[in-house]
Structure 1
Amino acid sequence: MTAQGTVSALVPFVLQREGEEAAPDNLLLTTSGPGRYQLRYADEDPRDRDLRGVLWARCSFNPVDAGRRPTGKPQWRLIHPFRQRMTMQTLRCQVCAEPARTPLGYVFLAGPGTVNPEQATVLTNQPPVCARHIRAAAELCPHLAGEPMVFLTQNAPLYGVHGVIYGYGGQGVQIVARPDEPLPYSHPNLSTFLASQLVRRLSSFRHMDLGELVHELKRAA
């Protein structure tokens, strides 16, 4: 993301801020049965795993302001893994972190031409946006180029996670694979997976342009 235009003072909640850094690498592989390993932190906390038990990459947090929003200079091309996970898990707006459901349903955005709207299922790691911040999200994110593809849905179930797979190598416990596609929650490699983005599945949706959506939201208000 990058700030531009009339909404440049608005900083999306999911962005990583200057001073928020990846935590020290203290990952371990432990045996969980014959030939089975589990990735964990040496000082693991229950908050390190999501609702499906997958381990997540750690990132520090800056202090919050009076409105309980993150502080620090925005890192426009970096997404904070915990805030992405929180907004996707609870279906909150990626800009303001308030509930994202609109009068028409949930709105998910994608970069122009990045998704084939004719396919039966669309996978997204972009948290939804509320009616108030649809235009702001489109303008702030260069990936959306101000002309996003819009997907309107009533239901977006959890699908899986983006991240990396760990194993043993010449340097001990290390990354051994970086899957291009998200792994579904049923995947056998999730026991040694370190997640950084939560992914939802859209299988029943309307594809529309931004202007059409804004017009229908005004009529529904």
Structure 2
Amino acid sequence: MSAPSRTTRRLVPYITSREGEHPDYLSSLRGTYGPDGRLQLGYWNELHEDRDLRGVLWGRCSQTIGVDGLPTGRPRWRMVHPSRQRECMEQLRCQVCAQSARTRHGVIFLAGPNEVRSEDVVVRTAQPPVCLKHARAAAEQCPHLAGQPTVFLVQSAPLYGVIGTPYQYGDGGLQALPATDEALPYGHPGLRWYLASQMGRRLRAYTVIALDDLPDR
């Protein structure tokens, strides 16, 4: 979620990056052999949590966390913290408060008013869900949603893939290649040399509703 308008009280999403949070150095990466014996991207001191449930490597980034367990520091609007985005997507937590986004009727996802075509059957998104408490605030404050979001009440949203940066070995050693906003699907061979920064899901079974028609709980 991007910066809110100046006419409303600022609500800083949990997934928003903060000043003082920095990505790890390129020198921390290397080529390493995976479980199948093939060369892949890895860390010199790789930890179990550096890879997601599908075995994809994730970019490390420091976190400024307060005593309440929530991020602190001035928000870096339009920048998403990779670990917190991944946490919310994997566990279907609200991108604003990090609490469960599940309701009795499904999980709430929001998209911009012109982001989804009427003929789309499967929708892909890298925006984590929102909870009932923060759905309206997110719709009002996020310029991307323009106060007129498409509201999805979702019953099935399997993981799809990741957005990130591909790497390769060159004359100067390990090099980053140009990144795109397109998600690379899980199972793609290119993920061996990919450093993920955002996780995506497919909204496969859903109902499009009006914001005022959200369930009470």
Question: What's the TM-score, normalizing by structure 2?
Answer: 0.91
Equivalent position of 2:52 in the other structure: 50
1:172-207 per-position Cα deviation (integer Å, ceiling 9, x unaligned): 111235344211111111111100001011111112
Structure-to-structure mapping, 1:23-102, within 5 angstroms: 23-25=24-26, 26-32=28-34, 36-65=38-67, 67-102=68-103
1:15 paired to 2:16:
yes
Structure 1: 4+ residue segments shifted above 4 A? 31-36
Equivalent position of 1:4 in the other structure: 5
Contact 2:5 2:143 in 1 (8 A): no
Structure 1: give runs of 5+ residues left out of the alignment.
Answer: none
Contact 1:3 1:76 in 2 (8 A): no
Secondary structure of the residue aligned to 1:174 is strand
Contact 1:28 1:42 in 2 (8 A): yes
How many residues get paired?
Answer: 215
Contact 1:29 1:167 in 2 (8 A): no
Contact 1:5 1:139 in 2 (8 A): no
Q: Per the alignment, do residues 5 and 101 of structure 1 end up closer, same or farther by CA in structure 2, a change over 3 Å counting?
A: farther
Structure-to-structure mapping, 1:143-182, within 5 angstroms: 143-182=144-183
Identity of aligned residues (%): 51
- Matched letter for residue 46 of structure 1: H
Equivalent position of 1:134 in the other structure: 135
User: 2-side partners of 1:208 and 1:159: how far apart?
Assistant: 23
- Of 49-58 and 31-40, more deviation after overlay is shown by 31-40
User: 2-side partners of 1:171 and 1:117: how far apart?
Assistant: 47
- Matched letter for residue 96 of structure 2: V
Q: Per the alignment, do residues 168 and 70 of structure 1 end up closer, same or farther by CA in structure 2, a change over 3 Å counting?
A: same
Contact 1:151 1:208 in 2 (8 A): yes
Cα RMSD between the aligned structures? 2.1
Q: Per the alignment, do residues 51 and 160 of structure 1 end up closer, same or farther by CA in structure 2, a change over 3 Å counting?
A: same
Contact 1:3 1:140 in 2 (8 A): yes
- Matched letter for residue 14 of structure 1: I
Q: Per the alignment, do residues 32 and 5 of structure 1 end up closer, same or farther by CA in structure 2, a change over 3 Å counting?
A: closer
1:5-39 per-position Cα deviation (integer Å, ceiling 9, x unaligned): 56524211111111111111221123559994200
Q: Per the alignment, do residues 179 and 12 of structure 1 end up closer, same or farther by CA in structure 2, a change over 3 Å counting?
A: closer
Question: What's the TM-score, normalizing by structure 1?
Answer: 0.89
User: 1-side partners of 2:35 and 2:132: how far apart?
Assistant: 48
